[in-house]
Amino acid sequence: MGRLISRSTVLLFGAALVLVAAFPLFWAVLNSLKHLLDIVTPTPRFIFTPTLSNYRQVISSPEVLIALQNSALIVGTAVVLGTALGVPAAYVIARFHVPAKRDIQFFLLSLRFLPPVAVAIPLIAIWIDLGLYDTRLSMIVTYLLTTLSTITWLSIPVFQRMPREIEEAATLDGYGPYAVFWRIALPTCGSTLMGGIVFSFVLVWNELMIALALTSSRSATLPVVASAFTSLGQEVPWGVINASTVLLAIPPIIFVGVLSRLLNSMLKGK
Amino acid at 10: V
Residue of 16 and 111 predicted with greater confidence? 16
Contact by Cβ (8 Å): 235, 186: no
pLDDT at 110 exceeding the cut of 80: no
Chain-wide mean pLDDT for the chain?
Answer: 83
pLDDT at 190 exceeding the cut of 90: no
What separation in angstroms does the CA of 108 have from each of 147, 155, 156?
11, 12, 11
Backbone angle region of 97, left / alpha / beta, with phi > 0 → left and psi within -120 to 50 → alpha = beta
Those residues whose C-beta lies under 8 Å from the C-beta of residue 242, and which sit 6 or more positions away, are: 28, 29, 31, 32, 39, 54
Q: What is the pLDDT of residues 66-79, one digit of tens each?
A: 888 899 999 999 99
- Radius of gyration (C-alpha) of the chain in whole angstroms: 23
DSSP symbol at 55? H
Amino acid at 60: S
Q: Which domains does the chain have, with CATH numbers?
A: 55-268 (1.10.3720.10)
Q: Cβ of 116: how many Cβ atoms within 10 Å?
A: 15
Q: Cβ of 206: how many Cβ atoms within 10 Å?
A: 16
pLDDT the model gives residue 4: 55
Contact by Cβ (8 Å): 78, 214: no
Contact by Cβ (8 Å): 58, 64: yes
What separation in angstroms does the CA of 259 have from each of 126, 202, 203, 251, 265?
34, 13, 16, 12, 10
Question: What pTM was computed for the model?
Answer: 0.80
pLDDT band at 270 (very low <50, low <70, confident <90, very high): very low
pLDDT band at 268 (very low <50, low <70, confident <90, very high): low
Q: What is the pLDDT of residues 201-223, one digit of tens each?
A: 988 998 888 898 898 888 889 88
